[in-house]
Structure 1
């Protein structure tokens, strides 16, 4: 990423009950994902939501539920841009990066996001070699040959997660969040902070 691109990156400040942190996002890497995220920020969607899934050696996830575990309404899902973002030189799922959460459907991301608290390369989209059929392709230690490109394009397990930003200040806050005691809460049997970690506000601080 060029210095000028980083300098132009929009930033969002989160104020939480565990402290503040700021992320920058990369519209040149994942334009639809970033536009979607910033619209939720402008709509104050994240204000009053919690980090409902916290796994100390993995990631912290939030942006979807209020403090009473009511799921907030969302707009239509955003198309998956993970592979394109990497091809444009975007970041991988490494410590401090910001990615969209989703269901098993790659194109299901709406408002929820997560912040990696360790390097999670298995969450990265898998690049596809050129050609149709793809002459040779490796995945999880196995080699596949002469696979129709459409088959790989439609393989949900190859999509990974779209990284679209990173924490640029307040990583100490993220480290506090990842260390909070967790258990059951609301509809979730595990990984819920026993003292709610609430996002009090999310504000665009640089456009």
Structure 2
């Protein structure tokens, strides 16, 4: 009986470990899982920006963002919407204005206590509150109108810690109406995200 039982227990243990490997998360939560404030370096054609994310207050949003970073899904996308004194938005289109594929929409964490202040990073979305997926924006002003109130706001999930001047310069570039996007406020000269890197913990 013992001879039969031992191989059986070994097989069950191996099966359990295989299941654990298969069940390993790939949703961004596996990126520096013990770090509540991961930092991401964003290399652009106008200079480098470093953001510190707040996983404690916006875990869903931060993990979603890190998932795109981990998959290198932001590389070669542009900042396609720039409104001076308001926002610098990007992450969704190539320089040819082709839309990039996205992971499922996420829950809106706008009620996390973080507000759309100058030099914060937040998620863009459609009219429905829970439609954010890959596009994000930098606030280039204190945009209290984007905070939750009677309606859902826009979820802030971090702050710029290096390169504020780069984002300020982006907010002042010349823009035009784009037929491809059917939208105003599109930079004439594309501002491209070349690379995003999760930096080592401090």
RCO (CA 8 Å, sep 6+): is it higher in 1 or 2?
1
Q: Which residue of 2 aligns with 1:73?
A: 101
SS of the equivalent of 1:82 reads coil
SS of the equivalent of 1:14 reads strand
Equivalent residue for 2:123, pick from 96, 100, 125: 100
**What is the Cα deviation at residue 189 of structure 1?**
3.1
Runs of 4+ deviating beyond 3 Å:
none
- How many matched pairs? 166
Contact 1:22/1:169, CA 8 A, preserved across alignment: yes
1:163-194 per-residue CA deviation (whole Å, 9 max, x = no partner) reads 00010000111011101000023223310000
1:59-106 per-residue CA deviation (whole Å, 9 max, x = no partner) reads 0000000110000000100111111x11xxxx3101000000000010
What is the CA RMSD across the aligned residues, in angstroms?
1.2
Unaligned runs of 5+ in 2: 1-34
Q: Which residue of 1 aligns with 2:175?
A: 182
Unaligned runs of 5+ in 1: 1-6, 127-138, 140-157
Contact 1:12/1:206, CA 8 A, preserved across alignment: no
SS of the equivalent of 1:33 reads helix
Q: Which residue of 1 aligns with 2:187?
A: 193
User: Larger Rg: 1 or 2?
Assistant: 2
**Distance across 1 between alignment mates of 2:59 and 2:79:** 25
**Distance across 2 between alignment mates of 1:206 and 1:171:** 21
1:38-64 per-residue CA deviation (whole Å, 9 max, x = no partner) reads 000001111000000000110000000
Q: Which residue of 1 aligns with 2:64?
A: 36
**Distance across 2 between alignment mates of 1:12 and 1:168:** 10
TM-score, normalised by the number of residues in structure 1 = 0.78
**Distance across 2 between alignment mates of 1:163 and 1:10:** 15
Q: Which has the higher strand share?
A: 1
**What is the Cα deviation at residue 8 of structure 1?**
4.9
